[in-house]
Amino acid sequence: MVRATRLHLLFLLVFTLLACFAAAQTSSGAATTASPTANSAAPGPSFEVNAAVDAYLGKMPPAQRARSNAYFEGGYWLILWDFLSTVFVMWLLLRFRWSTRMRNLAERITRFRPLQTALYWIQFIIVIYVVTFPLDVYEGYFREHKYGLLNQTFGPWMREQAVMLAVSVVLGAILIVPLFGLVRRLGKSWWVWGAVLMIVFLAFVSLIAPVYVFPLFNKYTKLEDARIKDPILRMARANGIPATDVYEFDASRQSNRVSANVSGFASTLRISLNDNLLNRCTLPEIETTMGHEMGHYVLNHSYKGLVMMGVVFVVGFAFLNWGISFALTRWGAHWDVRGITDVAVLPLAVIVFSFYFFLMTPVTNTITRTMEFEADMYGLNAAQQPDGEANVDLMLGEYRKLDPGPVEEFIFFDHPSGRTRITAAMRWKAEHPESASAEELARVVSNAP
Ligand SMILES: [Zn+2]
Of residues 410 and 23, the one with the higher pLDDT is 410
For residues 17 and 209, give the distance between their C-alpha atoms in angstroms, rounded to a whole number. Answer: 12
CA 209 remoteness from chain centre? 14
In the beta sheet, which residues pair with residue 222?
247
For residues 387 and 421, give the distance between their C-alpha atoms in angstroms, rounded to a whole number. Answer: 11
Dump the DSSP string for 48-74.
Answer: -HHHHHHHHHTTS-HHHHHHHHHHHHH
> Comparing 86-90, 113-117, 139-143, 205-209, which segment has the lowest mean pLDDT?
205-209
Please give the C-alpha separations between residue 257 and each of 33, 174, 277, 397, 407, in angstroms, as whole numbers: 22, 32, 8, 11, 26
Ligand 1 midpoint to CA 86 (Å):
29
Ligand 1 midpoint to CA 405 (Å):
21
Question: Model confidence at 9, in pLDDT bands (50, 70, 90)?
Answer: very low
Question: Model confidence at 13, in pLDDT bands (50, 70, 90)?
Answer: very low
For residues 89 and 132, give the distance between their C-alpha atoms in angstroms, rounded to a whole number. Answer: 8
pLDDT for res 261:
82
14: enclosing H helix or E strand: helix 9-19
Check the CA dihedral 132-4-211-120 and report its sign: negative
Ligand 1 midpoint to CA 136 (Å):
26
Ligand 1 midpoint to CA 80 (Å):
25
pLDDT for res 34:
39
132: enclosing H helix or E strand: helix 113-137
For residues 282 and 98, give the distance between their C-alpha atoms in angstroms, rounded to a whole number. Answer: 55
Question: Model confidence at 353, in pLDDT bands (50, 70, 90)?
Answer: very high
| 195-225 pLDDT, tens digit each | 999 999 999 998 888 889 999 999 999 999 9
pLDDT for res 449:
45
Ligand 1 midpoint to CA 111 (Å):
47
For residues 168 and 9, give the distance between their C-alpha atoms in angstroms, rounded to a whole number. Answer: 10
In the beta sheet, which residues pair with residue 273?
248, 260
pLDDT value at 169 more than 90: yes
> For residue 116, what are the contacts with CB-CB under 8 A and spacing of at least 6?
103, 106, 107, 109, 110, 343
Ligand 1 midpoint to CA 315 (Å):
26
For residues 350 and 285, give the distance between their C-alpha atoms in angstroms, rounded to a whole number. Answer: 42
Ligand 1 midpoint to CA 52 (Å):
24
Question: Model confidence at 2, in pLDDT bands (50, 70, 90)?
Answer: very low
Q: What is the mean pLDDT of residues 161-174?
A: 95
Question: Model confidence at 41, in pLDDT bands (50, 70, 90)?
Answer: low
Ligand 1 midpoint to CA 161 (Å):
25
Within 299-360, where are the H helices?
Answer: 301-335, 346-359
Ligand 1 midpoint to CA 375 (Å):
6
| 268-283 pLDDT, tens digit each | 777 889 998 898 899 9
Ligand 1 midpoint to CA 64 (Å):
24
Question: Model confidence at 448, in pLDDT bands (50, 70, 90)?
Answer: low
Q: What is the mean pLDDT of residues 108-136?
A: 95
